[in-house]
Amino acid sequence: MQTTQAPKELEVFGQLQRNLGEATAQLVATAVRTPWKELSLEMRTSPDGTSRGMKLRVTPVSGALIAVRPTRAVEVALHNICEMRSTFTAPWYGMKLTITSQGQCKVEFNYEPECKKEPAFRDSQEF
């Protein structure tokens, strides 16, 4: 049985995603002093990639959403991920990382070029 190895770019991208997840989880573990259910890091970029917006929010077990300022490690991981956008045949313009307090992770991509201009994202953008 022959196994097919993933392209090198996909391996690099996967590692960058893991780096982002680890940096974000570490940030929330130190910055949020209340029990939480889920964190959500959402980033969107302009079609040409020159402008980015992001928000990092934590859903506590009880109470209102908590906005958390990203650390340098999170910003660097996001930058490196964005640098790889053009590697993909269908470039994405938005990414959402969700991590539960139990450690389950999910990444979703937005392929709509104008997603950064969406009022619901823009109006609630934190950083």
**Among residues 27, 6, 19, 12, which one has the least CA distance to residue 83?**
12
Measure the CA–CA gap between 94 and 112, rounded to whole angstroms: 8
- Looking at every residue in the chain, the average pLDDT score rounds to 87
Fill in the amino acid letter for 86: S
* Residue 71 confidence (pLDDT): 92
The answer on pLDDT for 51 being more than 80 is yes
Confidence band of 56 (pLDDT split at 50, 70, 90): very high
**Among residues 102, 94, 99, 98, which one has the least CA distance to residue 120?**
94
Averaged pLDDT, 59-81: 91
pLDDT digits (tens, 9 = 90+) for 111-127: 999 888 888 776 665 55
The whole model's pTM is what?
0.84
Averaged pLDDT, 29-39: 93
What are the extents of the domains in the chain? 8-122
* Residue 62 confidence (pLDDT): 87
The answer on pLDDT for 32 being more than 90 is yes
Measure the CA–CA gap between 98 and 95, rounded to whole angstroms: 10
Q: Which of the following CATH numbers is that of domain 8-122: 3.40.309.10, 3.40.50.720, 3.40.640.10, 3.30.500.20?
A: 3.30.500.20
* Residue 84 confidence (pLDDT): 86
